[in-house]
Amino acid sequence: MKTSKSDISEAVYVGYIRSLFQDVGVLPLGAACFALVSLLLYHKTGGLVYLIFAGLLLFAGTFRYYLINRIDPQQISDYESALYWERRYVLWGTLHGLVVGSFGLVAMVWGDNSFSELAALSLVLGGTITVAGRNYGSRKMVTILTLALVAPLALGLMLKGDIYHFALGLFIVPFIFIIMKMADLVRTVLFTAISEEKRSASLARRFNRALNTMPHGLLMFSPEGRIVVANAQVVELMSFRSTKQMLGRSLKALLSRGVAAGLMERKDVQFAEQQLTRAMREGRDRKVLLRLTDGRHLEFSAREGRDELGVLTFEEVTSRIEAEERVRYMARYDSLTGLPNRAYFNEIVTEFMESSDPARLCGLAVLDLDDFKSINDTLGHPVGDGLIYAVADRLSSFAGDDVKVSRFGGDEFMIFFNRLEGEDDLVLRLDAIFEKLRGDVDVAGHQLRVQLSAGAVLVRADSDDVGAMIVKADLALYTAKEQGKNNWRLFETQMDAAFRSRQTLKADLRSAIEAQSLRVVFQPIIDVRTMQISGCEALCRWDHPELGPISPAEFIPLAEEMGIVSEISTMVLNVACRECARWPEHLRVSVNLSARDFHCSSVVDKVQQILSKSGLAADRLELEVTETALLDDKATTRVYLEELKKLGVTIALDDFGTGYSSLSYLHTLPLDKIKIDGSFLVDVTRNERSLRLLTGVVDLSRNLGLSVTVEGVETFSQLKILTKKVHPDLVQGFLFGSALTASGIETMSDKSWTFGGNTRTALNPASA
C-alpha cells in the first residue's frame, strides 16, 4: 500500500502520520534496554566498542523520543503537513535504526564468543518486533528500519566464514519482507477499521441529522415499553434539556409530563396512552389526535417497528386541522351571512326532529324578500348583498338552542322552531320577527326598506320530514305573495290542493302547446282620424277541455314560470303573420314578445324567417316589447331591437307608464310607437290633472317622433275626450268590440265608426 494521496484518502493518510507521533513512551525504555545489553557485553568482554555503543544506543533512542514527543499530533491537519512530518520522522528513525543495526553487525562479526552473537541476535530481533506495530503508519519507515536492523545482522552471520553461519544469514533475509508484509497487513486492517468507523460515524451523523431535523417527533420504545430513541422535536415539546433525559422513560410518564406542564388534559392523555400502547404492543398502526390547551393539535401515530421496537411519531397538524375546519365551515355555512346553508340546515333540522319528544310541535318558516330582483337590477349586486347581510344580521338575533336560522339561497331564509306551545306561539314569534325586520337599512349610502313575505307550517315532530315541511311552507309563502306581499301566511290544507291544481294546469298548458290547441284572436286598433281599423293586436286564447276558457292573465304567467312563453309568442307570431298576409294591405298586425324572447339573439332570425315564410311585408308587422324585457338587460335588448328595426318592422313600447323609468326609454331605445296603458283613462273624464298628464305624455311622445296608441278605451266619454283634447294617433279597447277571429278582422277592415258632436255613435260596426 502506497502512502500517497491517490491511494488513500487525505483524512486516512493524516491519521496514519499522526499515529507515528502518539504513544512514544516505549522509545526511552527500548533505548535503556539496548544500552544495558551493550554494557553487559562490555563487562563480559572488556571491549571498549561496546561501551561506546551503549552511549550511542541510549542517546539515539532518547533523542528520537525527545524529537517526536515535542510534536503535537493535532498540528498535522492536512496532507502537506503530514508529508512534511513523515519525512522528519523517517530521518530520525533511520539514524536510530543505523545505530542499532551497526551494534548488531559489530557484535556478530567482532565478537569472539557465542554470547556476543546471542546478544546481537536478541537485540536486533527485539527491535524488529516493534517495527510493524510502532511504525505501520509510514511504509518508508518500516522498510528503512527493517533493512537497518535485519540486513547488518544477516551480513554479520554471512561474514563468519563458515557455510553454516552463511546459510543462517541467508535465512534471516526473508524476515525483511515478512516484517514489511506484516506492516502492510496492519495498515490494511487499520485502514478498513478507520473507513468503517468513518462510514459508521457518517451514517450516525446523517441519522442524527435526519432524526433531529425531521418535522415529526419520533420515539422508539424497547419491548419493555421504555424510550430508547428520541429526537429534538420531542425534547422541545416536553421541555427536556436533552434526549438523554428522556431515555428509559415510559410513554405514560412522558405524557404525564405534558399534563404537569399544563399542555394536555388528563382524560385525553389517558385515552391516548391506552390506544397507542395497545397499538405498539399488538403491532398495529393507530392514530390519535390530541388538542393541546394552547390551541395546537398533535397527531400521534403508533407504527409497527422492527426488532421488537415500537415506533411512535407525532406531528403538529394545527394548520391542517384549521384548514379542514375552514373547509367544513365553507361547506356548512353561507359565505356572505355566516348562517347555516341549505344542506347543513337540513341536517340540523333532521337531527332535531328525530330527537326528544316525537309528539312535540315544531315550526318552520320560509322568508323571501319582496322585489329583491329590482334592487339587484337597479342598484347592483353589491347593494343587494348588503341588504341580504343586514336582514341576516337581524334574523341572527332570534337564533338560539331551539331556534335555527339559515340562508337557504338567494334572498330566501329559513327559520326552524324546535319546540312550540301551539299556533298562537308560532304567530307571536313570527309577528315579532316581522316587526324587527321591517324598517329601513342603510346599504352603501342607499336607504332601503326591508319588505318581505313568509310562509310557515306547524307540525308534530313525528308527522313530517324536513322536505315536506319546506314544501308546505313554500306553498304558504306563495299564497302570501299572491295576496299582496309584505305579510306571512300559515299553511292550510287547501293550499296544497291549490298547488296541485296549479301543477296540473301547468301540465295541461304544456300539452296544449305541444298539441297546438291554443288559438289566436285579434283586437282591433282604430285610427282616430278615420275611425277605421288600421290594424289589430294578436292575442292568445286557451280553451281548456274541462275548465273552459283560461284567462291569459292566468296562463301567460304560468308559461313564463315554466320557461315556455317563447313557444307561445312564436306560435302567435306565426299565425299573426300568416293571417295578416291575407288581409288588405292597409292592415297591420301587432304581436307581443316576452322578456324571455330577448334572452337570445335568435329572436331576430326567428322574426326574419317567419316574415319570409308568411310572405308578409316587414312594415306591416309591429312588435311590442314590455318594460320587463328592458329591465332584464337594457343594453342587450336595445341591440336586438335595432337589428329587428333594420328588418323593417315597427317597434312599440307596450304598457307605457306602468314601470319605474319609462320616460328614459323614449330617447334611448329605437322605438316607433308607445302604447299608453289604460290605467291613464280611469278618471280622465273627471280629473283635470289626469287629463293634463295624459295630454302631456302624448305631446311629448309626438315631439320625439313617436306615434301613440291609447289602450283600454271602454266608454264613449273616454273616446270623446281623447279625440277632442288628447289627440292620440290610435285607440284600442272594448268600446270597439271584443277580439275577433282573423276572418272577422278581414270583414270589418273597410268599416268605420262615425263620431258626432255628442257621446253617441251613428254606427257601431263591432255590434252590427
Q: DSSP for 234-299? A: HHHHHT-SSGGGTTT-BHHHHHHHHHHTTSS-HHHHHHHHHHHHHHHHHT--EEEEEE-TTS-EEE
Model confidence pLDDT, tens digit, residues 408-436: 888 899 999 999 999 899 999 999 998 88
The Cα 143–Cα 213 span in angstroms is 50
Give mean pLDDT, residues 352-369. Answer: 88
The Cα 340–Cα 342 span in angstroms is 7
What confidence score (pLDDT) does residue 768 get?
Answer: 33
Higher pLDDT, 574 or 292: 574
The whole-chain average pLDDT of the chain stands at: 82
| The CATH number, out of the four listed (3.40.309.10, 3.20.20.450, 3.40.250.10, 1.10.10.60), of the domain defined by the range 507-767 | 3.20.20.450
Give mean pLDDT, residues 39-49. Answer: 81
- Does the pLDDT value for residue 2 go beyond 50? no
CB 365 within 8 A of CB 455: yes
* Range among 116-125, 247-256, 481-490 with highest mean pLDDT value: 481-490
Model confidence pLDDT, tens digit, residues 392-404: 999 999 998 889 9
User: Which contiguous run of DSSP H or E holds residue 210?
Assistant: helix 174-213
What contacts 22, CB < 8 A, 6 or more positions away? 73
- Which cell numbers hold the place of 747? 270583414
User: Any idea which of 102-106, 307-311, 654-658, 761-765 has the lowest mean pLDDT?
Assistant: 761-765
Model confidence pLDDT, tens digit, residues 129-180: 776 667 767 778 778 877 777 788 778 778 877 787 788 778 777 877 777 7
Q: What is the CATH number of domain 214-322?
A: 3.30.450.20
Q: Give how far the C-alpha of residue 563 lies from the chain's centroid of Cα atoms, to the nearest Å.
A: 36
CB 623 within 8 A of CB 651: yes
Dihedral pair phi/psi, residue 662, rounded to 5°: -60, -35
The Cα 522–Cα 737 span in angstroms is 11
- Does the pLDDT value for residue 759 go beyond 50? no
Q: How many CB atoms lie within 10 A of CB 3?
A: 19
Helix, strand, or coil (residue 154)? helix
CB 746 within 8 A of CB 524: no
Higher pLDDT, 77 or 304: 77
Give mean pLDDT, residues 629-654. Answer: 83
- Does the pLDDT value for residue 13 go beyond 60? yes
What confidence score (pLDDT) does residue 540 get?
Answer: 94
Given this structure, which CATH class describes domain 336-491?
alpha beta
